[in-house]
Amino acid sequence: MTVRVGVIGTGAIGQDHIRRLECKLSGAKVTAVTDVNQDLARKVANTYAKQATVYANDRELIAARDVDAVLVASWGPAHEASVLAGLEAGKRVFCEKPLATTADGCMRIVEAEMAHGKRLVQVGFMRRFDSGYLQLKQALEQELVGEPLMVRCVHRNVESAESYTTDMAITDTLIHEIDVLHWLLNDEYQHVRVLYPKKTKHALPHLQDPQLVLLETKKGVIIQAEIFVNCKYGYDIQCEIAGEEGVISLPDVPAVRLCSNGRKGTEVLQDWKKRFEAAYDVELQAFIDDGLKDEPASGPSAWDGYVAAVTADACVKAQESGREESIELPKKPAFFNTQQPRLSKYRRRQR
């Protein structure tokens, strides 16, 4: 059996996912594509998915009889309408982050999915499928360091584009930490403060860079997250969790150790896409596998998309106010209490 996928948005990540579905993963076929830029959609179909039909818009693609599942990779403001239309048609939907650009929009999706009665939506928070984060999760579940007390994480990029603004440090960058950390800690966020250290000379005038985000969870864990998007030296993701019995850290990306010209060391990744390439494969395979087995979607849920949106809103408010802001979430509906993906299954795939 094959899951026939229609892809909405054939830009950078849409093309990556199409290649993945067509060339790397099993059980899937791209049968339809669309993009507001129809020339691009035709070019991408012609290059990576020759048998795919190019549709004029998301509605026509979603309605197509040979589309079982929809992959939304258009720009953020278009996501909500496509996801809601997919749910209305009873189709599985993989949606790149953000699920919607507002918390209210995410809640509309949460409600639509609950009304449908079965989990069909997976949000593209791929870090939950990264082998390093899965090892951290397993270590916490096995209580190797006891109760977590403090988390220190780092999200550094070589440089940012001119269009990157101060709030995007939260909505585009920290959003991945926001998702993965509450999942890792099995905890909920409660308060946030944002501090602006001395600004780097490499940031454009409109951008505050670096930033320090201090999140406190309901269990009292303090998270210190550094966002530094003009760090110059590379793409660097770090996460260290200090517990009552020890400390665990995200493993470094394996790289050749080079000794030359009086120096010893490893290269640092420059391209963010390479850091989570395997995780993108595994998250999408999980989505396809759920479809093949006709099981409820088991990856990051619409509720997780909502949690990320509410938390990001509070972080942006804290950027603007300079004060501590509350993060208030309603109780998670039982509908979203599905089993976490089995860790061993995903780790085996990434070897």
Chain residues that interact with ligand NAP, rule: CB under 6 A? 8-14, 34-37, 40, 58, 73-76, 78, 96-97, 124, 126
Q: Alpha-carbon distance 146 to 246, whole Å?
A: 7
CB atoms inside a 10 Å sphere around CB 172 = 18
347, containing H or E segment: helix 343-349
**C-beta of 8 vs 181, nearer to ligand NAP:** 8
Comparing every residue's Cβ against ligand NAP, the nearest one is 11
Q: Minimum CB separation from ligand NAP for residue 67, in Å? A: 14
Q: Minimum CB separation from ligand NAP for residue 75, in Å? A: 4
CA distances from 237 to 31, 43, 205 (A): 35, 34, 25
CB distance 123 to 97 below 8 Å: yes
**C-beta of 83 vs 327, nearer to ligand NAP:** 83
Rg (CA), the chain: 20
Q: Alpha-carbon distance 248 to 241, whole Å?
A: 5
Q: Minimum CB separation from ligand NAP for residue 37, in Å? A: 4
**C-beta of 9 vs 210, nearer to ligand NAP:** 9
Q: Alpha-carbon distance 137 to 128, whole Å?
A: 9
**C-beta of 12 vs 204, nearer to ligand NAP:** 12
Q: Minimum CB separation from ligand NAP for residue 242, in Å? A: 27
103, containing H or E segment: helix 103-116
Q: Minimum CB separation from ligand NAP for residue 341, in Å? A: 17
CB atoms inside a 10 Å sphere around CB 56 = 11
Q: Minimum CB separation from ligand NAP for residue 9, in Å? A: 3
**C-beta of 40 vs 139, nearer to ligand NAP:** 40
**C-beta of 10 vs 230, nearer to ligand NAP:** 10
Q: Minimum CB separation from ligand NAP for residue 22, in Å? A: 17
CA-based end-to-end distance of the chain: 25
Number of residues that this document lists for the chain: 351
Q: Alpha-carbon distance 28 to 13, whole Å?
A: 17
Q: Alpha-carbon distance 280 to 232, whole Å?
A: 25
Max CA separation in the chain (angstroms): 64
Q: Alpha-carbon distance 179 to 255, whole Å?
A: 27
**C-beta of 113 vs 283, nearer to ligand NAP:** 283
**C-beta of 175 vs 221, nearer to ligand NAP:** 175
Q: Minimum CB separation from ligand NAP for residue 214, in Å? A: 24
